[in-house]
A = this chain, B = another copy of it.
């Protein structure tokens, strides 16, 4: 009988997981070394090898993250709304776990523990399907998780690694409607597209971020440069990094030379439209001519597309046409412009005078993040623990009939 586990049981299991990760770090590092050796042998880039690598220190950091999850408020059992109906029926809408959550993800083995911890905390069982390139690491990690969970008195099967390294297991997961309640793909655009298109299990689409920074006519240009460089260059490989700069025509002459200089200093290649190309040569800026492909590309690198737009509405039209709907920022001192931009732009997160890099569960104060939903159904934007739950209604009467 699968009663929702009380918080103490779930938290106890997570604390046992954190302890076990630290205690058994050597065997995890050993398993990880196999994956790393295989990756190196097949010529994988050092940046990907680095993301794959686990060290004792990194495992301790992962364990510490698990302890942070334990401390978060419990979403299970939360009363979402309640009322007494005119006929005296008592109506309560209560948060309940989804049941079984499937996570399909790429290279980084720390996701194995993060995702499992968030699912357990929210009362769900979790089916993990990591990258075959991290299979030895994931097998070791899930072994530790299952042992710890079982020792804490929960069924080990609340955490399961989907067996095998083949692509078939992904297909089986996507067709497990009725067994798996929701599937969350985390990774590159092609993985996410495949899951979204082929899954019969309900999916929460995550992560592709073609984010825009729009510098309005009435912007504080120092602020605009600061935010642009932060949004583009502080961590180009993440989904909330900016990929396109849009500049109001009235401010292009003054802003672009400064922006291009700062981008060049940060090592960013600019893919500019004709108006932007006119500034080629300013302060050693390299400007590659932009094509439509640039407007829709999520570079995830030290590249940015840039265009001059006649006004705010044109910026909004550009965003509506090309954005992946993740995060868009406006830099402006004009209250009407800020209001119009936040009303017209329909993305998970619209920012005023702030970097797109803030679209993040930890930054939003959610304490943890299972991903950033870019779909409109169920959850939109950074997802914390409540987004890993459903609800049910409990209706209490004393013999009520219709």
Contacts and interface: CB of A to CB of B under 8 A. Distances in A.
A57 interface: no
A65 interface: no
Contacts of A354: 89, 395-397, 399-401
A344 B1 contact: yes
A220 to B, nearest CB: 7
B400 A350 contact: no
Contact of A377 (B317, B377, B381, B398): B377
Q: State the oligomeric state as a number of copies.
A: 2
Interface string A371-402: 00001111011100000001111111111111
A358 interface: yes
B346 A99 contact: yes
Interface stretch (A223-231, A251-259, A261-269): A223-231
25 contacts: A1-B317, A83-B365, A89-B358, A89-B363, A91-B364, A181-B377, A182-B376, A182-B377, A196-B200, A220-B399, A226-B399, A226-B401, A227-B400, A350-B392, A350-B394, A351-B397, A352-B394, A352-B396, A353-B396, A353-B400, A354-B401, A358-B395, A358-B397, A358-B402, A380-B392
Contacts of A4: 343
Given A3-B343, A89-B358, A375-B202, A392 B351 contact: no
A87 B388 CA distance: 27
Interface string A335-368: 0001000111011111111110111000111000
A169 interface: no
B377 A1 contact: no
A1 B318 CA distance: 11
Contacts of A377: 181-182, 202, 204, 377-378, 390
A334 interface: no
A96 interface: yes
A398 B358 CA distance: 13
B397 A3 contact: no
A90 to B, nearest CB: 9
Contacts of A182: 376-377
Given A376-B182, A377-B182, A234 B202 contact: no
A392 B380 CA distance: 7
B197 A393 contact: no
A98 interface: yes
Chain B CB within 10 Å, residue with most, of A99, A226, A358? A358
Interface in A1-19: 1-4
Chain B CB within 10 Å, residue with most, of A231, A357, A359, A377? A377
Contacts of A99: 346, 376
B402 A230 contact: yes
A313 interface: yes
A231 B347 CA distance: 44
Contacts of A202: 202-203, 375-377
Interface string A288-319: 00000000000000000000000001001100
